[in-house]
Amino acid sequence: MSLDLQNTTETLLSVRDLTVVVKNDHGSRTVLDEVSFDLKPRQVLSVIGESGSGKTVLAKALASWLSPPLEIAKGEILFGGRDLIADRSHARHLAGREIAYVGGNPAGALDPTMTVGAQLVEKLRAVRPQISGADARAKAIRLLEAVKIPSAHRRFHEFPFQYSGGMMQRAMIVDALISDPELLIADNITQPLDVTVAAQILKLMRELNENFSTAILFICSSLPVASDAGDEVMVLHSGRVVERQEPEALVARPQHAYTRGMIDELPSLWADGPVGDGQQAHAQDQAALMSVRGVAKHYVTRGKQGHAIVQAVRNVDFDVFPGDNFGIVGESGCGKSSLMRLLTGLERPDAGQVLFEGENVGEASSKRLRALRRRFQLVLQDPYGSLPPQATIGSIVEEPLKIHGIGDRRRRRELGRGVLNEVGLADSLYDHLPTGLSAGQRQRLNVARAMILEPRLLIMDETLSALDQTEQGKLLDLFERLQAKHGFTYIFISHDLTMVRKVCSRIAVMYLGETVEVAPNDRLFFDPGHPYSRALLSAAPTLEARRYAPEECLLEGEPPSPIDLPPGCAFASRCPRAFDRCRSENPALTERGDASSAACFLVDGAIARKDTA
């Protein structure tokens, strides 16, 4: 079908002067402003823009999915020569049939009460009633296999909640492609996924484009991802198309100032070369401020199959020295959050020790713990959820003082104003609610609240991940200033490699609850000791020449479930270098010199052993 079309016309989709407005009581605001572009059959066009640039509105307009207050003011969307705006019923007819849509929220995209397979079949038969049930089923399973869902026959009968985020996104891609559409609109599909999973999905999209003769409009907010995915990249800014070029040309010779700014703002992993770090050398001479020794924690969940034990944290080992910027990186489900709860004494470990200034946090009495908490503090991830609702900014910063019974009313207010000024929040906000604060300002408030007790150690749990690049930069500057003034030690828990690369002196990499590598910054990025670290680096979204190619570092497949851990190394199933021993025995952290260690049999001596075996 698509082949015929290819012969008759050179453009599949042609958008002309598309203008979309938001209508409300106060009038209307333009969201898309005379957007025009063409898309050829089988072409992959990336559309990039920051949030608010109108890219999702564009996706919805093309999928005929705009709902009030959004409204098309003028323009044409010509699909195969027919205008979808003028001919609504034709547009509805195409939806799901020739124009497929995959969104950025795979978790909520299917009915939770029906199996994935049944819904794929239902969709196919809704748009192609002539296909029999058995054929539809066979096709669904074939496509599930094509998107590399393991044991597709079994997965066909599973429910959406039994799929991981990455698998669900693959299933949604199947859902879109099952009707052999001519156009696939992929709206932010990698955004909610972990970098290694996102890299797998991107790879898959490229393969599918080759095999399925579907044109793809790939919408995303990350320039590296957009360049990776598309034949061409179109930049959208405040509702206008500012330029469109092939990825290499775009990066090398951006035409528009906005694009240039965006490229300049991208942080780099390797471009600046090894930065060296004098700070960490002297830090090592002192006693560790916080030491984590073989910590483990499991949770018991009650599922349909009875009780299950989730190994959230195991074999975690590292030291944090005074003045360190210690980073803990890993993808979702690696145990970062559980580890954070152990470090802060919110939970007690099953085994091992968390020592703060030589004192075991995991065994401290609750009274002692409260006293210790004056000296280590936590800044949380979600700028919106981490502040108590209905409390004024002033009472939020004063709360820690009240809890610990420090100072009288006047003294507390004085201290409160002091820290607010230090983090760059105006005095005048003192009696206001934080409702109107931006995400960055909220995180400043969180920092202020944590530092009012004058702690020695601040644990930052994904503190910056909700912020955009500019805000992140400002807060990092603030952290540096505060460190210089108060001598704080930081632990940054993050999934963001570029952030960690920029600020951390030493870094621990976690995978499925374990620290698989601990190394100084440069060493980790230039000479990673664990294959997982390398895979993580290879998947990092960057425009730089990659030091590690994803194809060589990561196999297809999902991380194993923490409920059902394999006996050997947890990474073995996705590791291109895995050998027999990896599948039966779990490697421990091994010194590899220069204050680095990695939990892999391939570290130094281990390689020799493999060769002789």
Partner 1 sequence: MFLARFLARRLLQGVLIIFLVSALIFSLLRVVPGDPVRLMAGGMAPEALIEQIAEDMGLRDPIYQQFARYVGGIAKGDLGQSFVRPANGAAVGGASFDDSTRGERAKVWDLIAQTAPKTLMLAVLAMVFALVIATPIGVWAGLNPGRLPDKFALYLSSFFVGLPNFWLGIVLALLLSVKLKLLPAIGYNGFSYTILPALVLAVEIAPFIIRTLSVSVAGVMSQNFIDIASVRGLTRNQIIFRHALKNSSVPLLNLLGVQFSMLLGGVLVIEFIFDYPGLGLLTINAVMQRDFPLIQGIAIVTAAAFVLINIAVDLCATAIDPRLDY
Partner 2 sequence: MTRANTYSDIPETRKELSIPARIWSEAFRSQEFRFGFAVFILLVLAAVFYPMFSGIEPTKMNISAKLTPPVFVGEEWSWMHPLGTDQLGRDMLSRSLVGLRYSLLIGVSTTVLMVALGALIGLFAGYFGGWVDTVLMRLTDAQLSLPMIILAITILGVSRPTIPSIILVLGLAGWPVYARVMRSSVMSERKKEYIRGAMVLGATDWRIMFTLILPLVLPPMALVAVLDIARMMIFESVLGFLGLGVQPPTPTFGNIIADGRKYLLNAWWIATMPGVFLVVTLTSINLMGAAFERARNKIYGGV
What residues make contact with partner 1 under the rule CB under 8 A?
63-65, 95-97, 100-101, 103, 105, 108-114, 122-123, 126-127, 159, 161, 175, 179, 302-306
> Is the CB of 386 or the CB of 538 nearer to partner 2?
386
> Is the CB of 68 or the CB of 303 nearer to partner 1?
303
Round to whole Å and give the CA distance between 151 and 116.
14
Q: Which two tokens stand for residue 87?
A: 């001919």
Selected binder of partner 2 within 1, 114, 252, 426 (CB under 8 A): 426
> Is the CB of 266 or the CB of 433 nearer to partner 2?
433
Stretch that binds partner 2, among 159-167, 173-181, 433-441, 528-536 (CB under 8 A): 433-441
Round to whole Å and give the CA distance between 140 and 138.
5
> Is the CB of 98 or the CB of 462 nearer to partner 1?
98
Q: Which residues pair with 518 in a beta bridge?
A: 508, 597
Per DSSP, the residues of 380-448 read -S-TTTSSPTT--HHHHHHHHHHHTT-S-HHHHHHHHHHHHHHHT--GGGTTS-GGG--HHHHHHHHHH
What is the footprint of partner 2 within residues 456-475 (CB under 8 A)?
470-471
Q: Residues 133, 121: contact at Cβ < 8 Å?
A: yes
Q: Is 576 among the residues that bind partner 2 (CB under 8 A)?
A: no
Q: Is 478 among the residues that bind partner 2 (CB under 8 A)?
A: no
Q: Is 446 among the residues that bind partner 2 (CB under 8 A)?
A: yes
The entry of partner 2, partner 1, none that residue 538 binds, CB within 5 to 8 Å by partner kind? none
Round to whole Å and give the CA distance between 505 and 327.
8
Round to whole Å and give the CA distance between 15 and 78.
6
Q: Is the dihedral of CA 227, 232, 234, 235 positive or negative?
A: positive
Round to whole Å and give the CA distance between 503 and 506.
9
Stretch that binds partner 2, among 62-70, 321-329, 384-392, 523-531 (CB under 8 A): 384-392
Round to whole Å and give the CA distance between 512 and 330.
9
Shortest CB 400 distance to partner 2, Å: 5
Q: Is the dihedral of CA 334, 337, 340, 341 positive or negative?
A: negative
Selected binder of partner 2 within 237, 298, 412, 449 (CB under 8 A): 449
Q: Is 437 among the residues that bind partner 2 (CB under 8 A)?
A: yes
Shortest CB 179 distance to partner 1, Å: 7
Size of the site for partner 2 (CB under 8 A): 45
DSSP state of 558: P
State yes or no: cis peptide before 69, omega within 30 of 0.
yes
AA identity, residue 420:
L
What is the footprint of partner 2 within residues 316-355 (CB under 8 A)?
341, 344-346
Q: How far is CA 81 from CA 196, 264, 282, 520, 592, in A?
A: 39, 39, 69, 58, 63
> Is the CB of 251 or the CB of 308 nearer to partner 1?
308
Which residue from 559, 555, 539 is spatially nearest to 547, judged by alpha carbons? 539
Shortest CB 123 distance to partner 1, Å: 5
Say how far residue 461 (Cα) sits from the centre of its chain: 14
The entry of partner 1, partner 2, none that residue 382 binds, CB within 5 to 8 Å by partner kind? partner 2
Selected binder of partner 2 within 222, 315, 338, 386 (CB under 8 A): 386
> Is the CB of 437 or the CB of 602 nearer to partner 2?
437
> Is the CB of 91 or the CB of 602 nearer to partner 1?
91
> Is the CB of 52 or the CB of 593 nearer to partner 2?
52
The entry of partner 1, partner 2, none that residue 384 binds, CB within 5 to 8 Å by partner kind? partner 2
Round to whole Å and give the CA distance between 122 and 116.
10
Q: Which two tokens stand for residue 125?
A: 């038969």
Round to whole Å and give the CA distance between 344 and 364.
12
The entry of partner 2, partner 1, none that residue 108 binds, CB within 5 to 8 Å by partner kind? partner 1
DSSP state of 559: P
The entry of partner 2, partner 1, none that residue 380 binds, CB within 5 to 8 Å by partner kind? partner 2
Which residues lie below 8 Å from residue 93, measured CB to CB, with a gap of 6+? Answer: none
Round to whole Å and give the CA distance between 193 and 221.
13
Shortest CB 529 distance to partner 2, Å: 33
Stretch that binds partner 2, among 152-160, 422-430, 533-541, 542-550 (CB under 8 A): 422-430
Round to whole Å and give the CA distance between 332 and 106.
16
Shortest CB 321 distance to partner 2, Å: 22
The entry of partner 2, partner 1, none that residue 278 binds, CB within 5 to 8 Å by partner kind? none
Shortest CB 293 distance to partner 2, Å: 22
The entry of partner 2, partner 1, none that residue 222 binds, CB within 5 to 8 Å by partner kind? none
Selected binder of partner 2 within 29, 92, 384, 594 (CB under 8 A): 384
What is the footprint of partner 2 within residues 40-79 (CB under 8 A)?
51-52
> Is the CB of 113 or the CB of 390 nearer to partner 1?
113
> Is the CB of 64 or the CB of 245 nearer to partner 1?
64
Shortest CB 304 distance to partner 1, Å: 5
- The string over 568-588, giving b where at least 16 C-beta atoms fall within 10 Å of a residue's C-beta and e elsewhere, is bbbbbbbbebbeebbeeebbe
The entry of partner 1, partner 2, none that residue 127 binds, CB within 5 to 8 Å by partner kind? partner 1
Round to whole Å and give the CA distance between 175 and 160.
13
Shortest CB 50 distance to partner 2, Å: 10
Alpha helix (H) residue ranges in 253-392: 257-265, 278-283, 336-343, 366-372
Number of neighbouring beta carbons within 10 Å of residue 551: 11
Q: Is 381 among the residues that bind partner 2 (CB under 8 A)?
A: yes
Stretch that binds partner 2, among 179-187, 261-269, 370-378, 406-414 (CB under 8 A): 370-378
> Is the CB of 128 or the CB of 404 nearer to partner 2?
404
Long-range contacts of 539-542 (CB under 8 A, 24+ apart): 539/195, 539/196, 539/198, 539/199, 540/195, 540/269, 540/497, 540/498, 541/195, 541/198, 541/222, 541/224, 541/225, 541/228, 542/224, 542/266, 542/268, 542/269, 542/498
Selected binder of partner 2 within 261, 276, 388, 576 (CB under 8 A): 388
> Is the CB of 55 or the CB of 530 nearer to partner 1?
55
Round to whole Å and give the CA distance between 495 and 328.
8
Q: Is 378 among the residues that bind partner 2 (CB under 8 A)?
A: yes
| Binding positions for partner 2, rule: CB under 8 A | 51-52, 341, 344-346, 369-370, 373-374, 377-378, 380-382, 384-390, 399-400, 403-404, 424, 426, 428-429, 432-441, 446, 449, 453, 470-471
